[in-house]
């Protein structure tokens, strides 16, 4: 399905939408599994990984995979043979056996599945392939994890959920933004109760990235094709993901509905005229689409999340996370928090209460709050993996999230732990694309968000393994 079909479909509202290691298994059995419908991983001592799409992102993640222990790359697939060969060379240079290469066309990845040499597939291809490659992976009995923003349609989300439940294979999202030291510390602070109840999150993907939508000759890249004519949030998971984890989405709470609004600054036209000339099709006939998308999501428990997507207008990069909770606030820009009864101050006296007789105002600290660096909480509250592997993670991209995400994924498979991000999360974060599009094109009408857990969110517990 191409973008235009997708948009039409959105508008019309049509289309229904290994080798097992006994000691590891015993070890896993002795641990308390999370209460999930999907099972934990079968523990795998040495995870055999097949990678599909070794372009910019795939190449960079492949290098991180090669720094991990207890796994090996057994298959490399890309349309471009030279990229497969480059990937194979990197694997050999890392001291592993030469993995099999696959580059005989866009469905050659299936040959890798059929060969049966992989326990886990990493999908790092353009967007339209994420869904089909994950679907085929689970049908072949292989776990899979796809790059962001996940899959493109609600139908695909449901198909993945049903397949994952049926096959017992996990389908995960490679959402690296969930794995920085700071984001994981905030999650832990929430889980440990310091913040009280998280109420509202403002989260903005805010960087000028129009270059990603064009090729050097002025044609559209896959990302450009993917977003053309869209008015909703086309790349939600970087900011929906961590927010959803903080809010306990699919684990005690669930996304309920959203409203979305897009505004156009004609960025494509301006960019095309400037860099590709007046004859570029967009110079004469610019696409009608949003440059800034603003989506508000309400949860079943009455929380809210404001998601901004702002990647086309002139601006320095300034991603934003602000969590307001009943007992404190976190802000990523200055890497700071204020936590009631923990941050410095005397909270026994309220500030500013007027004595009706004297007219004096009380001078306590309550309501005169000060920020403190979140790093004050690292020693006690950062994730144990950051304590142990922080130095290795720090040299990888996206604030160390790239390494930590893959490290946690392989570790969970080695140990047989439930994955941090499962198919329900993938569905909940991916479906913002289609639903926000529907809302933004219809005067910001409220659009219900699917519950991929089918009600199980009420009883699902926070992941114990997240802290392990």
Rule CB under 6 A: which residues touch ligand NAD?
A: 52-58, 77-80, 83, 106, 109, 124-127, 129, 147-148, 176, 398
For helices 423-430 and 432-440, give the axis angle rounded to 10 degrees.
Answer: 20
Report whether 190 contacts 325 (CB < 8 A): yes
The nearer residue to ligand NAD, 24 or 205, going by C-beta atoms, is 205
The nearer residue to ligand NAD, 38 or 84, going by C-beta atoms, is 84
Report whether 332 contacts 182 (CB < 8 A): yes
- Tell me the torsion sign for CA atoms 197, 237, 59, 99: positive
Smallest separation, CB 198 to ligand NAD (Å): 24
Report whether 282 contacts 206 (CB < 8 A): no
Strand ranges inside 64-111, DSSP E: 71-77, 100-102
Question: What are the contacts of 382-387 at 24+ separation with CB within 8 A?
Answer: 382/181, 382/184, 382/185, 382/188, 383/181, 383/184, 383/185, 383/188, 383/466, 383/467, 384/467, 384/468, 385/411, 386/181, 386/184, 386/185
The nearer residue to ligand NAD, 176 or 453, going by C-beta atoms, is 176
Smallest separation, CB 216 to ligand NAD (Å): 13
Name the nearest CA neighbour of 52 among 91, 83, 96.
83
Structure tokens, 348: 């026994």
Residue 66: CB atoms within 10 Å: 19
Residue 354: CB atoms within 10 Å: 10
The nearer residue to ligand NAD, 131 or 286, going by C-beta atoms, is 131
The nearer residue to ligand NAD, 311 or 453, going by C-beta atoms, is 311
The nearer residue to ligand NAD, 129 or 321, going by C-beta atoms, is 129
Residue whose C-beta lies closest to ligand NAD: 55
The nearer residue to ligand NAD, 309 or 415, going by C-beta atoms, is 309
Smallest separation, CB 150 to ligand NAD (Å): 9
Burial zone of 222 (CB within 10 Å; 0-12 exposed, 13-18 middle, 19+ buried): middle
Smallest separation, CB 345 to ligand NAD (Å): 38
Name the nearest CA neighbour of 174 among 152, 144, 215, 210.
144
Smallest separation, CB 172 to ligand NAD (Å): 13
Smallest separation, CB 176 to ligand NAD (Å): 5
Smallest separation, CB 421 to ligand NAD (Å): 12
Smallest separation, CB 343 to ligand NAD (Å): 32
The nearer residue to ligand NAD, 283 or 433, going by C-beta atoms, is 433
């Amino acid at each position: 399905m191409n973008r235009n079909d997708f948009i039409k479909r959105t508008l019309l509202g049509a289309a229904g939408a290994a080798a097992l290691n006994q000691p590891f298994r015993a070890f896993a059995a002795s641990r308390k599994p999370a209460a999930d419908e999907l099972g934990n991983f079968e523990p795998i001592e040495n995870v055999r990984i097949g990678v599909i799409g070794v372009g910019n992102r795939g190449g960079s993640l492949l290098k991180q995979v090669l720094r991990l222990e207890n796994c090996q790359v057994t298959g490399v697939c890309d349309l471009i043979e030279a990229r497969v060969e480059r990937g194979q060379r990197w694997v050999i240079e890392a001291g592993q056996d030469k993995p099999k290469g696959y580059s005989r066309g866009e469905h050659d990845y299936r040959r890798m599945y059929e060969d049966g040499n992989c326990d886990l597939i990493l999908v790092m291809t353009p967007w339209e392939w994420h869904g089909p490659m994950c679907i085929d992976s689970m049908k072949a009995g292989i776990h899979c994890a796809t790059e962001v923003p996940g899959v493109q349609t609600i139908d695909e989300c449901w198909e993945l959920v049903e397949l994952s439940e049926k096959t017992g294979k996990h389908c995960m999202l490679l959402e690296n933004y969930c794995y920085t030291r700071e984001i994981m510390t905030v999650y832990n602070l929430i889980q440990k109760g310091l913040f009280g109840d998280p109420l509202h999150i403002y989260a903005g993907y805010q960087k000028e990235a129009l270059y990603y939508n064009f090729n050097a000759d002025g044609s559209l890249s896959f990302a450009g094709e993917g977003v053309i004519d869209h008015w909703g949030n086309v790349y939600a998971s970087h900011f929906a993901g961590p927010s959803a984890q903080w809010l306990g989405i699919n684990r005690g709470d669930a996304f309920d509905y959203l409203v979305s609004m897009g505004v156009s600054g004609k960025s494509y036209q301006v960019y095309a005229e400037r860099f590709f000339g007046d004859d570029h099709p967009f110079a004469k006939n610019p696409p009608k689409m949003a440059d800034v998308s603003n989506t508000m999501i309400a949860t079943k428990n009455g929380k809210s999340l404001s998601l901004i997507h702002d990647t086309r207008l002139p601006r320095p990069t300034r991603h934003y996370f602000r969590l307001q909770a009943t007992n404190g606030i976190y802000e990523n820009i200055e890497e700071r928090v204020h936590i009631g009864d923990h941050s410095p101050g005397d909270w026994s006296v309220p500030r500013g209460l007027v004595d009706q007789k004297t007219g004096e105002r009380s001078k306590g600290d309550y309501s005169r709050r000060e920020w403190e660096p979140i790093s004050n909480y690292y020693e006690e509250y950062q994730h144990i993996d950051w304590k142990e592997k922080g130095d290795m993670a720090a040299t990888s991209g996206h604030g160390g999230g790239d390494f930590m995400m893959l490290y946690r994924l392989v570790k969970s498979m080695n140990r047989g732990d439930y994955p941090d991000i499962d198919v329900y999360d993938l569905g909940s974060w991916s479906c913002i694309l289609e639903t926000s599009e529907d809302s933004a094109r219809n005067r910001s009408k409220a659009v219900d968000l699917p519950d991929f857990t089918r009600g199980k969110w009420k009883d699902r517990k926070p992941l114990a393994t997240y802290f392990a």
